[in-house]
């Protein structure tokens, strides 16, 4: 079949997405760690025989979907297609050729049909540990952060590389979970490969190139049409982000010219001797995600939707960090690429942009669980989404990552750390005609018999989520141990009975707060989202009249 009509193309595209979804669910069902099983810190993507991105799972981390095509290109440069055999599985956690830090593994299986490669399946997931000092913003060099595995064959013609597996096992904490998760990635890519072959056999496809050309062409045409609708021009934005002694500056210039769009990060601060540096692969992924969210959110991601977007960043800046930079906590800077670009495009697309989010944060926790077994895992928490025209921001929702919430029952069983309370923070959503989402308050207590070591990965403590077009900023984030405020990027020990409190950031508001619908504000007060005092202070409304409306 050399060409496809629109209906056939739509059906086959949906089938590819269904295959990617089944690959995701296989990874989740066979994984050993809570990070994959409960938090879905993963992605699975399908490629054609030329290495072009075809489809992604409906649930996957945006940054992984963005780095995946770059990783595959690096893998094929190391192992060209003609050197691969059926049963090969390629593996790496290289921070610059993978996802930006060592904790994410990239596992790829080629899809062979009639003796030639017809496609590739790539899965990515975050491991519970990779050795070293663990994830921390305080690490100074990547050599502190754990085991680096260059692009290599994890499985060669169906035979596992036992020496590599034993090397990884000997260098990590909770090695049963680590090796189990790696093998779950292998399993899911093989399932994805089998399903791709079944699809090809069902439709009589000798290869995927005609289908790929149709999908990519359609998406690229749609993306270029949307870019052409943006007024030509140069749009700029910059802001500061918390670091350590001094903040760092992030800056971008977006140039729109016809059907092409170029993002330049000149003016961004230099990389640091700290774990918050961002390799360019991660910056590129966040850039593509931000642009797609703004102008073409409804079309599934593929090669065509990113082709019109170009990027440059000065070598050695914090968004294009170079070896031996530590990158474990790259989310603390890299996630800000999205609101940075949104801020620039607010000048061109005022009705499409979203006010700044409160961002997610994470805790790296290492200790001994109630069953006496060691644990090493992440606790994800989230601020809130910013508001946009016509819509309040969602509360306690991560952005631009999309991890799922850890159930309290699973967390407590795994770690012995009790979740004492969890609720929304009143008045933390930025006031506006459309209100920013609320942050949350989470209280964790170490109820184990031994210390728990934590590294906090938090932002939005000095610079809250900005509102747009007259909307106010959201509430700031802060962390407390036993009632005392602590550094949001520090390492700490929780002794038995110690209490950690996370106060997450709210999202920015959109539009003048004085224009908020009185019925909506009344509902906010009645539900406890906005206090009567907050209604008077931030919205200029009398407490009693608001409560009675």
Q: Which positions ≥6 away from 527 have C-beta within 8 Å?
A: none
What pLDDT shows up at residue 239? 97
Question: What's the average model confidence in pLDDT over 541-549?
Answer: 50
- pLDDT bin (cut points 50, 70, 90) of residue 24 is very high
Q: What is the pLDDT of residues 498-507, one digit of tens each?
A: 999 999 999 9
Over pLDDT 90: what percentage of the chain?
A: 89
- pLDDT bin (cut points 50, 70, 90) of residue 2 is low
Question: Is the pLDDT at 320 greater than 60, yes or no?
Answer: yes
Question: Is the pLDDT at 548 greater than 80, yes or no?
Answer: no
Question: Is the pLDDT at 547 greater than 50, yes or no?
Answer: no
* Distance from the first to the final alpha carbon of the chain: 64
What pLDDT shows up at residue 5? 80
Greater pLDDT, 402 or 104: 104
The Cα 10–Cα 14 span in angstroms is: 6
- pLDDT bin (cut points 50, 70, 90) of residue 541 is confident
Q: What is the pLDDT of residues 181-224, one digit of tens each?
A: 999 999 999 999 999 999 999 999 988 988 999 889 989 999 99
The Cα 510–Cα 461 span in angstroms is: 21
What pLDDT shows up at residue 426? 97
The Cα 457–Cα 487 span in angstroms is: 10
- pLDDT bin (cut points 50, 70, 90) of residue 143 is very high
Question: Is the pLDDT at 544 greater than 90, yes or no?
Answer: no
Question: Is the pLDDT at 546 greater than 90, yes or no?
Answer: no
∠ CA 129-131-136, nearest 5°, is: 75
Q: What is the pLDDT of residues 144-170, one digit of tens each?
A: 999 999 999 999 999 999 999 999 999
Q: Following DSSP, what letter does each residue of 436-490 receive, concatenated?
A: PPP-EEEEEEE-SSS-EEEEEE---SSSPPPPBTTPPPPPPPEEEETTEEE-TT-
Q: What is the pLDDT of residues 324-377, one digit of tens each?
A: 999 999 999 999 999 999 999 998 999 999 999 999 999 999 999 998 999 999
């Amino acid at each position: 079949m050399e060409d496809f009509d629109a209906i056939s193309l739509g059906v086959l595209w949906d089938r590819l997405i269904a295959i990617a979804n089944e690959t995701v669910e296989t990874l989740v069902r066979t994984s050993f760690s809570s990070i994959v099983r409960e938090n879905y810190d993963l992605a699975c993507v399908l490629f054609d025989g030329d290495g072009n991105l075809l489809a992604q799972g409906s649930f996957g981390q945006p940054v992984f979907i963005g780095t995946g095509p770059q990783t595959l290109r690096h893998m094929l440069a190391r192992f060209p297609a003609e050197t691969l055999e059926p049963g090969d599985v390629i593996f790496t956690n290289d921070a610059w050729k993978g996802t930006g830090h060592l904790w994410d593994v990239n596992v790829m299986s080629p899809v062979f049909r009639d003796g030639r490669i017809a496609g590739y399946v790539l899965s990515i997931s975050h491991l519970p540990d990779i050795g070293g000092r663990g994830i921390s913003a305080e690490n100074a060099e990547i050599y502190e952060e754990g085991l680096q595995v260059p692009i290599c064959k994890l499985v060669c013609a169906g035979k596992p590389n036992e020496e590599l597996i034993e090397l990884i096992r000997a260098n990590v904490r909770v090695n049963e979970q680590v090796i189990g998760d790696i093998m779950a990635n292998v399993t899911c890519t093989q399932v994805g490969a089998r399903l791709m072959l079944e699809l090809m056999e069902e439709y009589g496809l000798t290869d995927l190139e005609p289908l790929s050309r149709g999908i990519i062409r359609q998406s690229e045409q749609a993306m270029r049409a949307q870019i052409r609708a943006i007024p030509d021009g140069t749009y700029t934005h910059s802001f500061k982000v918390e670091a350590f002694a001094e903040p760092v500056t992030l800056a971008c210039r977006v140039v729109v010219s016809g059907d092409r769009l170029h993002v330049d990060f000149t003016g961004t601060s230099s990389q640091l001797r700290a774990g918050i540096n961002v390799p360019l692969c991660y910056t590129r992924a966040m850039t593509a995600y931000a642009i797609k969210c703004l102008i073409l959110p409804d079309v599934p991601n593929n090669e065509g939707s990113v082709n019109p977007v170009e990027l440059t960043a000065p070598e050695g800046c914090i968004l294009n960090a170079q070896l031996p930079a530590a990158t474990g906590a790259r989310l603390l800077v890299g996630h800000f690429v999205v609101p940075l670009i949104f801020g620039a495009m607010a000048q061109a697309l005022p009705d499409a942009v979203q006010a700044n989010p409160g961002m997610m944060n994470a805790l790296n926790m290492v200790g001994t669980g109630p069953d006496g077994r060691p644990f090493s895992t992440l606790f994800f928490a989230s601020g809130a989404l910013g508001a946009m025209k016509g819509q309040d921001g969602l509360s306690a929702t991560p952005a631009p990552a999309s991890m799922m919430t850890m159930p309290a029952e699973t967390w407590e069983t795994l770690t012995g750390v009790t979740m004492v309370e969890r609720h929304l923070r009143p008045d933390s959503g930025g006031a506006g005609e459309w209100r920013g989402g609320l942050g949350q308050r989470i209280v964790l207590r170490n109820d184990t018999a031994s210390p728990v070591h934590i590294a906090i990965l938090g932002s939005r403590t000095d610079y809250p989520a900005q509102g747009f077009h007259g909307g106010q900023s959201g509430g700031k984030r802060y962390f407390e141990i036993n009632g005392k405020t602590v550094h949001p990027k520090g390492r700490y020990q929780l002794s038995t009975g110690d209490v950690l409190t996370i106060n997450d950031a709210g999202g920015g508001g959109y539009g003048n707060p004085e224009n908020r619908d009185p019925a909506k504000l009344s509902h906010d007060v009645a539900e406890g989202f906005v206090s009567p005092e907050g209604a008077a202070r931030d919205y200029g409304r009398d407490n009693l009249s608001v409560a009675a409306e």
